[in-house]
Amino acid sequence: MKKVLITGGAGFISHHLIAFLIQNTDWEIISLDRLDYSGNLNRLDDILSQFNDDFKGRVRLVFHDLKAEINPLVKKEIGDVDYILHLAAGSHVDRSIKYPLEFVMDNVVGTCNILNFAKEIHEKNGLERFLYFSTDEVFGPAPIGINYKENDRYNSTNPYSASKAGGEELAVAYENTYSLPIYITHTMNVFGERQHPEKYIPMCIKKIRDGEPVTIHSDTKKKVPGSRHYIHAEDVASAVYFLLTKKIENDINWGNAKCPKFNIVGAEELDNLELAKLIAQYQNKELKFNLVDFHSSRPGHDLRYSLSGDKMKQLGWTPNISVKDRIKQVVDWSLLNSKWIEY
């Protein structure tokens, strides 16, 4: 039986990943979390309640804040693992703009500490894979018609994306220096059940339900809404599992770069007004909205991000459910489980 350590296991994406691995593997799962602003054990409790005790018994919770190195007692609690999936991160752009050093500590120092732990395991028993979960935002804003590929240049526009790029470069360095078996993924605008209610989709569901206007990020002329490739967290989990279990040859030479990178991307780009209209349609409600030039009032927020999903598609992975069907799924679920969209 494989053992996998997932950092930030009580976070939004991670708890969907844990549920996917429970359903699709016999692996033992260790969730490492400090349970802060983003972590919520109620997520895990809610999703684990769907499984019987045999399934739930494969999940263990370990408390640790990765700003500190992993001490011997925590190492003993974790034990040896085959995979480390590093999803723990500070991820709220607004907070990063206000408190940039917090994000350096979480996303750079925290990454260095988990990499040191991975290095120790790899030297002792051999680690099959370390996956660093990065973001589309490291590439910066994407002009219309541009979809960034895995090894394109970076252009961070806020402290959050800069700190994720810093952690990513540490991961690359540990592959180059210590031969750690590292993969890096970039994904963008993940949504799904139990997402933090301040995020765009749960916020839209609640405001439209309550007849309140939705604020939509637009260009300076308040004519063009921002756009993203939205992807459901279950599809992200599917892509991660695909990368862990498929033999992949890194046959592309990017200046002798050894660390493979993969974009996990939704199949369809939606602008945020179109998305809000869909959410209103699925509720049979009228959409009230205001287009607001967010970038001028909130520097560090970009109008459009976009990644190319060609590499994963060529390897054999794409989302198997359309984004519009996924959005309807989340709208229906959220209305039935309204505590998850309340502030």
Residue type at position 265: V
Q: Of these residues, 83, 132, 148, 160, which one is catalytic?
A: 160
Residue pair 276/212 in contact (Cβ under 8 Å)? The answer is no
Token pair of 88 as six digits: 């723990």
Return d(Cα 326, Cα 335) in angstroms, integer. 14
Among residues 313, 291, 294, which one has the least CA distance to residue 302?
294
Closest CA to 158 of 86, 92, 110: 92
Give residue 248's identity as a one-letter amino acid code: I
What contacts 78, CB < 8 A, 6 or more positions away?
5, 30, 32, 62, 70
Across-strand partners of 113?
A: none
Q: Is 148 in the active site?
A: no
Q: How far apart are CA 51 and CA 223, in angstroms?
A: 47
Alpha helices in 151-251 (DSSP H): 159-178, 200-209, 233-245
Exactly one of 137, 234, 235, 271 is catalytic; name it.
Answer: 137
Tell me the Cα Rg of the chain. 20
Question: Which entry of 33, 82, 106, 136 is annotated as an active-site residue?
Answer: 136
Q: Is 137 labeled as catalytic in the residue annotation?
A: yes
80 as an active site residue: the answer is: no
Q: Contact 32/38 with Cβ under 8 angstroms?
A: no
Residues with active-site annotation? 136-137, 160
